[in-house]
């Protein structure tokens, strides 16, 4: 399938936990220590003083579903052509670079003819969010049905923007598990903690029910190499064929769920603009972003190679794995942990090597024993996570830090990302990158199976939130990711080990020289203090 045929720019017109009294449930990849009840009583006391407003989750809604017959679209014809050459297979391609990931989304929006279904944990009011929304509006103008589902907690875009989008006859917005809009937002969160703590962390983007992008990225500048001063290192995977239909059906489950509230439920908010006025006001900023960001995204080396059909997609069998949305309505149990249970089965079957990349890693006692059993069978376990300097959640690092000795003693090769792992000078048109945070959620097993998705290896992802991802059986794709990863790992991360006295040490190759640090590298005293103090927090919430 020439990908240029599918996403050519000429193809379309373009210019927190649920229950306070929680059982002590454990899972092989993590452990779930019982929460400190005094913390919950404090939260409840604050909520009692503040009062709260609940989200309108009982608002009426109309069900809608994927369009199953989209084979006559440009994308559908391209996928059909590819599948004739690769019967029984789906097509895959990893999207590692941020601009590549943004370019792929924008190209697919331009190519869409029938439907766009997009589902994210958060979106921000920045250039990435602006371009994404304006391109969706362009697609809707030419008759494409757009369904846009966002989790509500960390989405910082004003309701007015979504209400304006919702005015378009071809766009429908829904917020997942929304907070109440009366009073203080975060006091509403605490006051309705039982429900509001459970979040949809899924990220998927599907066009014409034929091609999807799944992974760890949200819609904000830091995920696409656009953030000045610092950015996230993340990963997505492009999926075409029958597996994209599975992703579309999974989207329907969340879209039609009682926790997915139509934007009309918030129409009591007063504003003076209509959609046409808002678009006119945004045109200047959008035009500037189109001249820079849009061109850079579609002009990236990978996008040019894809558009010119110089890159072969990986033909393989794959599996879409997702928690059910009802996970957020049920008490925490192994039965609700669909994704992590399936991944534990796959990882347990490893024979030689498991590479784990996760921003947040809190294994718990059960998780440590899980990895120990694998190393005792001779399986090499390599884990890369954030260092204290690179993490964006110091409290999570505090929870992870208490397990480092046990992980190392269990035989795990433990690495922490250097905050200056990639330093670029930038140019007049691009940002200067000063710090890097790991946000990739991926695993490679036996250089054969690759998982890319939204799952962090921490209690919040495993127990509290819903997660999704794609598992691919392809030795070629696994090797294309694992080989360069292992080559650069000693230079871009610190290997954490114990010295002869059992003290933690951090080793890295910097400018060709081996450097050994005796304390949390690249982090100041105040950050270390915060990480240490955060160990009193309930691990079950991290």
Mind telling me the catalytic residues? 201, 203, 208, 439, 441, 446
DSSP character for 336?
A: G
The rounded distance, in Å, linking the Cα atoms of 146 and 148 is 6
The first and second tokens of residue 98, run together, are 């941020």
Q: In 3D, which of 86, 131, 91, 88 has the Cα closest to residue 6? A: 91
In degrees and rounded to multiples of 5, residue 74 shows phi and psi of: -60, -45
**What secondary structure does DSSP assign to 348-380, as a single string?**
HT-SSEEEEE-S-B--HHHHHHHHHHHHHTT-E
Q: What value, to the nearest 5°, has the Cα angle with vertex 107 and ends 233 and 82?
A: 100
The first and second tokens of residue 379, run together, are 């399986």
> Which residues 6+ apart lie within 8 Å of 322 measured at CB?
202, 250, 338, 339, 466, 467, 468, 469
The first and second tokens of residue 418, run together, are 């250097």
**What secondary structure does DSSP assign to 120-148, as a single string?**
ES-B-SSHHHHHHHHHHHHHHHTT-EEEE
| 63 within 8 A of 256, measured Cβ to Cβ | yes
The first and second tokens of residue 188, run together, are 């509403």
C-alpha Rg value of the chain to the nearest Å:
23
The first and second tokens of residue 422, run together, are 């990639």
The rounded distance, in Å, linking the Cα atoms of 164 and 171 is 10
In 80-186, DSSP assigns E strands to 90-95, 115-120, 145-151, 171-176
The rounded distance, in Å, linking the Cα atoms of 428 and 431 is 8
The rounded distance, in Å, linking the Cα atoms of 102 and 342 is 29
Q: In 3D, which of 179, 184, 235, 173 has the Cα closest to residue 442? A: 235
**What is the phi-psi region of residue 204: left when phi exceeds 0, alpha when psi lies from -120 to 50, beta otherwise?**
beta
């Amino acid at each position: 399938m020439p990908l240029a045929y599918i996403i050519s720019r000429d193809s379309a017109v373009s210019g927190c936990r649920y229950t306070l009294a929680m059982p002590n449930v454990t899972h092989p990849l993590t452990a779930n220590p019982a929460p400190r009840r005094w913390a919950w009583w404090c939260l409840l006391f604050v909520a009692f003083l503040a009062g709260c407003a609940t989200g309108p989750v009982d608002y009426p809604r109309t069900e809608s579903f994927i369009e199953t017959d989209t084979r006559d679209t440009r994308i559908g014809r391209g996928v059909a052509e590819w599948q004739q050459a690769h019967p029984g297979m789906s097509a895959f391609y990893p999207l590692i670079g941020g601009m590549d990931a943004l370019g792929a989304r924008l190209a697919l929006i331009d190519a869409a003819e029938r439907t766009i279904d997009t589902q994210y944990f958060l979106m921000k009011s920045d250039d990435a969010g602006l371009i994404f929304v304006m391109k969706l509006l362009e697609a809707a103008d030419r008759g494409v049905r757009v369904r846009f589902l966002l989790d509500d907690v960390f989405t910082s875009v004003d309701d007015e923007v979504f209400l304006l989008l919702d005015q378009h006859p071809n766009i429908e917005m829904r917020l997942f598990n929304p907070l109440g809009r009366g009073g203080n937002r975060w006091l509403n969160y605490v006051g309705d903690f039982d429900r509001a703590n459970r979040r949809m962390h899924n990220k998927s983007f599907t066009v014409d029910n034929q091609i999807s992008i799944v992974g760890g990225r949200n819609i904000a500048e830091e995920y696409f190499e656009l953030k000045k001063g610092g950015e996230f290192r993340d990963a997505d995977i492009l999926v075409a064929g029958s597996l994209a239909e599975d992703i579309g059906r999974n989207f329907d489950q969340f879209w039609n769920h009682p926790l997915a509230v139509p934007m009309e439920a918030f129409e009591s908010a007063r504003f003076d603009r209509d959609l046409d006025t808002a678009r006119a006001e945004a045109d200047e900023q959008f035009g500037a972003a189109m001249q820079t960001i849009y061109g850079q995204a579609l002009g990236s080396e990978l996008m040019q190679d894809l558009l010119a059909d110089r890159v072969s997609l990986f033909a393989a069998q794959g599996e879409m794995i997702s928690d059910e949305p009802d996970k957020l309505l049920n008490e925490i149990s192994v039965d609700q942990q669909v994704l992590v249970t399936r991944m534990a089965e796959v990882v347990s079957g490893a024979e030689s090597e498991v590479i784990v990349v996760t921003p947040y890693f809190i294994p718990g006692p059960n998780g440590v024993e899980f990895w120990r059993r694998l190393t005792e069978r001779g399986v090499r376990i390599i884990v890369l996570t954030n260092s204290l300097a690179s993490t964006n959640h110091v409290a999570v690092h505090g929870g992870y830090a208490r397990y480092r000795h046990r992980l190392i003693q269990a035989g795990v090769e433990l690495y922490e990302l250097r905050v200056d792992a990639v330093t670029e000078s930038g140019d007049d048109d691009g940002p200067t990158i000063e710090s890097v945070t790991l946000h990739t959620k991926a695993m490679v097993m036996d250089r054969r199976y690759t998982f890319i998705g939204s799952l962090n290896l921490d209690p919040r992802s495993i127990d509290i939130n819903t997660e999704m991802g794609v598992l691919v059986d392809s030795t070629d794709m696994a090797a294309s990711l694992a080989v360069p990863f292992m080559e650069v790992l000693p230079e871009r991360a610190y290997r954490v080990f114990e010295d002869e006295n059992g003290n933690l040490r951090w080793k890295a190759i910097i400018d060709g020289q081996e450097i050994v640090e005796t304390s949390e590298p690249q982090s100041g005293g105040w950050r270390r203090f915060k990480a240490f103090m955060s160990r009193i927090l309930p691990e079950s919430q991290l």
